[in-house]
Amino acid sequence: DPAAPGKAIVHVHPDPDELGRVFRPDLGIAAPAPAMLAALAAENGPGRPGWADWTAQLRSGYDAWRVPVETPGAVKLENVVAALAHRLPEGSVIANGAGNYNIWLHRYHQFTKAKSYLGATSGSMGYGFPAAIAAALETGRPAVAWTGDGCFQMTLNEMSTAVQHGAQVVVIVANNGRYGTIRMHQERSYPGRVSGTDLANPDFAALARAYGGHGETVETDAEFGPAFDRALAAGGLAVLDLKLDPEALTPTQTLTEVRGR
């Protein structure tokens, strides 16, 4: 905005008669834009900017934050995310729904390319699986649906869509037997007063097989990598049911810790 106070204006134009015609610049330069950019590129820039130390400190904090924190259970989502990063095919898309299980994905997974992630907005539970189906069909590449057990049950009927249309989707179900985010708020505000957050889940792996897909139950970290490889090799719908410890509420808090505050 040329009218913004406190900002220096440099106007570059090949025609000197155009300089200053619309607004008064602090510096007018009669030159073609490519020549001006080439001249700027050849100049030595200013010394270390004043905010460099601040950004370095922020980066250091971010790198420390990304170091995995061990959580309870034989299947730890921090280890699942690490294993997933080494096995995702080039061009894969990850889609997720809504819930605490996403904190592990967002904290530890590095999305290095554009158009590789589809995320729910406004807490839209159930979004991840149908979004992954759409991504797989649109790109012709494998897609991963990162879901919770409660989240998956809101749209798991779309397994028929995935099978019918040949979408290669690997569904990773973070199964802790409850609506984890809602339970967190209940325990935080009213410790021990639980209402409607425990789930009676089906056998997700068997259900996937009933739909004509591939299904496996994962009960340890060591089982996940080979199971994911087999899910990819299946070439269509695959569901990996991860049996999580309900105590693992977030990467840094257990259910007991939240209840005790």
pLDDT digits (tens, 9 = 90+) for 22-63: 888 899 999 999 999 999 888 876 667 778 889 999 999 999
pLDDT at 156 over 80: yes
The residue whose two tokens read 């934050």 is 65
| Alpha carbons 240 and 246: distance in angstroms, whole number | 18
Domains of the chain as residue ranges with CATH: 10-42 (no CATH), 71-259 (3.40.50.970)
Q: Write the DSSP string, the chain.
A: -TT-TT---EEEESSGGGTTSSS--SEEEES-HHHHHHHHHHS---SS-TTHHHHHHHHHHHHHHTSPPP-SSSS-HHHHHHHHHTTPPTT-EEEE-SSTTHHHHHHH----STT-EEE-STT-TT-HHHHHHHHHHHHSS-EEEEEEHHHHHTTGGGHHHHHHHT--EEEEEEE-SB-HHHHHHHHHHSTT---S-B-----HHHHHHHTTSEEEEE-SHHHHHHHHHHHHHH-SEEEEEEE--TTB-SSS-BHHHHHT-
**Residue 2 pLDDT:** 56
Biggest alpha carbon distance in the chain?
77
Residue 100 reports pLDDT greater than 70: yes
Reported pTM: 0.81
Q: Which of 33-37, 38-42, 107-111, 186-190 has the lowest average pLDDT? A: 38-42
Any idea which of 16-25, 175-184, 226-235 has the lowest mean pLDDT? 16-25
pLDDT at 248 over 70: yes
**Residues 170-183 pLDDT 10s:** 999 999 999 999 99
At 62-87, the pLDDT tens digits run 999 999 999 999 999 999 999 999 99
Task: Look at residue 1 in the predicted model and tell me its pLDDT.
Answer: 53
What pLDDT is attached to residue 178? 96
CA geometry: angle at 81 spanning 149 and 209, to 5°? 45
Quote the tokens at residue 115: 């158009």
